[in-house]
C-alpha cells in the first residue's frame, strides 16, 4: 500500500508505558480466564433505562436524520444553563458546541488553539489520549510534570517556565484529575490563570469528572477574572450519566471560537445523532437524581478503600478530591508501577493501570478504578494490599 502519513503513524509516539498490562489482562479474559478488571474508567452502572427510553422515543419519532451541526438549540441551551448555574459565568447557546464525546471536544479545542507545528502544554500525569490528541491537531505536546509531594498540583513556576521556553499557545489541565484524583484548589487555578494571561495562553480545561467531587469543591478556571475569553471547557455525559458509548459531550468557548469550530465540525464529525442529543437533553434536565445515582457507588467504594488501606502501611493512598479512581503509591514494595501491576496480574489475576502509563511523574504508583461491585472491589483491594505487604517485607 502507499505510505501512511507521518501524522497518523506518529500519533502515539513516545506515549506512556505500561499498557502491555492492560492488553495482557484483555488477552487473559479473551482466553476465558477470570480477571478482576480495575483498569479503565468505564462505570459499572449502565445508562439509566429512562434515558434509553427517551433515546428510543426520539429515534422512533424520526430524529434519525442529520441533526444541526452545532447541536440542537434545546440541548445547547440546556448545557449553557447548566454551565451558567455551576460556574456563575453567563453562558449562552453561542458558547456551546455539542460534540461526539469529550474526546472530540479535546481535539476540537486544540485545533482551535494551536498552530501547525506549535507547542501545546499538558499537565502530567495525564489522561492517556492527551499527547496523541495534540499531535492529531498538528501540534507538539510538551509535558509539565507534577510531584506527589505537591499532591500532583501543577506549580505555576513550572508552567511559566515551560510556556516561555516552548512558546506554547495552549495549556491543557484536568480537574478533577484522571489519574490522580486531584481537585485543583483556588490558589492553583489562580496561578494557572496568571500564567495564562501573562503568556497569552488558551487554557483548555477538561472537566469531564466535575460531578464526581468527594472533597473540596470543583472550580472551573473559566470562572476566574478575565479567563472566560481564553478558556475552553470540555464536558461530557460519559462519566456523569454513565453514557460512555453514546458519545456525547460538549465544548464551551468564546462565541468567535465556537463559530470557527462549527466549521471544523461541519468538515469532520458533521454533528451528533439527534436521538442521542434528545436523550442527553432528558438526562440533563428531566431527573436531578440521575447524576448523584451514578456518582454514589464511587463515593461509597472510595470510603471502603480508605478503611481497608488505613489498616496497613505499605500502600499509600494519594489524598484525592474526586474522579472514579484511587491513586496508590506502591514504592514501598521496591517495584515500579509497571512491575507491581504485572506481578499482581500474574499472582492474583487483578488488573490495575501502572502509573507510568500516565507519564513519568506517576512512576511507582498505580491507578485503581472504583468500578466493581462493593464486595468484589473490597476483596480485590485487600488482596492487593496483602500482596504489596509481602513484597515490601521481601524487599
Binding stretches for ligand PMP (CB under 6 A): 41, 101-103, 127, 174, 178, 206, 208, 236, 238, 244, 249
Pairwise CA distance, residues 35 & 24, whole Å: 10
Nearer Cβ to ligand PMP, position 177 or 314?
177
DSSP SS3 for 203: strand
Nearer Cβ to ligand PMP, position 100 or 118?
100
Pairwise CA distance, residues 81 & 91, whole Å: 7
Pairwise CA distance, residues 395 & 391, whole Å: 6
- Considering only CA atoms, which of 207, 369, 211 is closest in space to residue 290? 211
3-state secondary structure 71-108: CCHHHHHHHHHHHHHHHCCCCCHHHEEEECHHHHHHHH
Nearer Cβ to ligand PMP, position 206 or 356?
206
Nearer Cβ to ligand PMP, position 41 or 118?
41
Q: Shortest Cβ distance from residue 177 to ligand PMP (Å)?
A: 7
Q: Shortest Cβ distance from residue 173 to ligand PMP (Å)?
A: 10
Under 8 Å between Cβ of 121 and 168? yes
Q: Shortest Cβ distance from residue 101 to ligand PMP (Å)?
A: 3
Nearer Cβ to ligand PMP, position 162 or 240?
240
Q: Shortest Cβ distance from residue 106 to ligand PMP (Å)?
A: 6
Nearer Cβ to ligand PMP, position 181 or 249?
249
Q: Extract the runs of DSSP E, i.e. beta strands, from 107-153.
A: 119-124, 140-145
Residue 254's CB: how many other CB atoms inside 10 A? 18
Which residues have a Cβ under 8 Å from the Cβ of 27 and sit 6 or more positions away? Answer: none
Q: Shortest Cβ distance from residue 169 to ligand PMP (Å)?
A: 20
Q: Shortest Cβ distance from residue 174 to ligand PMP (Å)?
A: 5
38: cell is: 480495575
Task: Please name the residue ranges forming H helices in 268-349.
Answer: 274-285, 290-310, 337-348
Nearer Cβ to ligand PMP, position 237 or 315?
237
DSSP letter for 174, please: E
Pairwise CA distance, residues 347 & 339, whole Å: 12
Q: Shortest Cβ distance from residue 103 to ligand PMP (Å)?
A: 3
* Residue whose grid cell is 485543583: 184
Nearer Cβ to ligand PMP, position 37 or 206?
206
Q: Shortest Cβ distance from residue 210 to ligand PMP (Å)?
A: 11
Amino acid at each position: 500500500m502507499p505510505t501512511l502519513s507521518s501524522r497518523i503513524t506518529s500519533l502515539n509516539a513516545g506515549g506512556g508505558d505500561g499498557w502491555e498490562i492492560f492488553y495482557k489482562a484483555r488477552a487473559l479474559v479473551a482466553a476465558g480466564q477470570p480477571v478482576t478488571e480495575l483498569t479503565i474508567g468505564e462505570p459499572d452502572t449502565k445508562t439509566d433505562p429512562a434515558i434509553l427510553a427517551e433515546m428510543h422515543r426520539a429515534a422512533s419519532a424520526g430524529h434519525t436524520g442529520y441533526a444541526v451541526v452545532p447541536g440542537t438549540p434545546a440541548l445547547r441551551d440546556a448545557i449553557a444553563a447548566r454551565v451558567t448555574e455551576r460556574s456563575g459565568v453567563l453562558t449562552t447557546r453561542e458558547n456551546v458546541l455539542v460534540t461526539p464525546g469529550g474526546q472530540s471536544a479535546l481535539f476540537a479545542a486544540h485545533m482551535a488553539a494551536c498552530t501547525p507545528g506549535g507547542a501545546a502544554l499538558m499537565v502530567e500525569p495525564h489522561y492517556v489520549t492527551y499527547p496523541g490528541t495534540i499531535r492529531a491537531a498538528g501540534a507538539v505536546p510538551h509535558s509539565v510534570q507534577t510531584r506527589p509531594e505537591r499532591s500532583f498540583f501543577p506549580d505555576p513556576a513550572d508552567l511559566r517556565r515551560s510556556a516561555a521556553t516552548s512558546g506554547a499557545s495552549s495549556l491543557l489541565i484536568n480537574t478533577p484529575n484522571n489519574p490522580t484524583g486531584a481537585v485543583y484548589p483556588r490558589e492553583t487555578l489562580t496561578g494557572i490563570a496568571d500564567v495564562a494571561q501573562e503568556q497569552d495562553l488558551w487554557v483548555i480545561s477538561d472537566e469531564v469528572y466535575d460531578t464526581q467531587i468527594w472533597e473540596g469543591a470543583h472550580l472551573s478556571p473559566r470562572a476566574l477574572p478575565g479567563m472566560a475569553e481564553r478558556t475552553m471547557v470540555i464536558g461530557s455525559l460519559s462519566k456523569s450519566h454513565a453514557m460512555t458509548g453514546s458519545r456525547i459531550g460538549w465544548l464551551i468557548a468564546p462565541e468567535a471560537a465556537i463559530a470557527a469550530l462549527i466549521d471544523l465540525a461541519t468538515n469532520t464529525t458533521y454533528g451528533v445523532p439527534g436521538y442521542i442529543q434528545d436523550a442527553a437533553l432528558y438526562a440533563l434536565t428531566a431527573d436531578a437524581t440521575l447524576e448523584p445515582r451514578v456518582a454514589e457507588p464511587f463515593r461509597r467504594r472510595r470510603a471502603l478503600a480508605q478503611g481497608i488501606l488505613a489498616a496497613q502501611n505499605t500502600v499509600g493512598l494519594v489524598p484525592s478530591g474526586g474522579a472514579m479512581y484511587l491513586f496508590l503509591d506502591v514504592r514501598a514494595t521496591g517495584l515500579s508501577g509497571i512491575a507491581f501491576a504485572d506481578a499482581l496480574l500474574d499472582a492474583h489475576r487483578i488488573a490495575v493501570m501502572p502509573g507510568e502509563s500516565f507519564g513519568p511523574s506517576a512512576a511507582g504508583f498505580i491507578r485503581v478504578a472504583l468500578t466493581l461491585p462493593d464486595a468484589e472491589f473490597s476483596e480485590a483491594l485487600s488482596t492487593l494490599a496483602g500482596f504489596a505487604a509481602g513484597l515490601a517485607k521481601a524487599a
